A = this chain, B = another copy of it.
């Protein structure tokens, strides 16, 4: 993962509304939630919610699919796992201080550098 990609994802999560949206989707699991349901749970107005969904999707953290007249959003667990791995990567100079984080909800597909990758 490139640092710009990771920073974009973290920046997307660095806002209370988007973080609440993302957590709702993480808790919903891969099946996802309709946009309206997320708005209901978080109390965010539709147009604002749409704006934040777009930000999260642009960062690769959520995906959208149309289902009838609903749009279902789901967390992208692989991207999230890649991000967590990037943050803890090469922790303490590579001397294993503790077991590395295990991925959540499926394996990691994003390639992960070892600290001196392309940046």
Contacts and interface: CB of A to CB of B under 8 A. Distances in A.
A31 B95 CA distance: 13
B3 A7 contact: no
Interface in A63-119: 80, 84, 87-95, 97-106, 115, 119
Contacts of A12: 14
Contacts of A14: 7-14
A19 interface: yes
A28 B98 contact: no
A82 to B, nearest CB: 13
The 5 closest A-B pairs by CB, nearest first: A11-B14, A29-B92, A10-B14, A101-B101, A14-B14
29 contacts: A3-B20, A7-B13, A7-B19, A8-B14, A10-B10, A10-B11, A10-B19, A22-B87, A26-B88, A26-B90, A27-B90, A27-B91, A27-B92, A27-B93, A29-B93, A29-B95, A80-B87, A84-B87, A84-B101, A88-B104, A91-B105, A97-B104, A97-B105, A98-B103, A98-B104, A100-B104, A101-B101, A101-B102, A101-B104
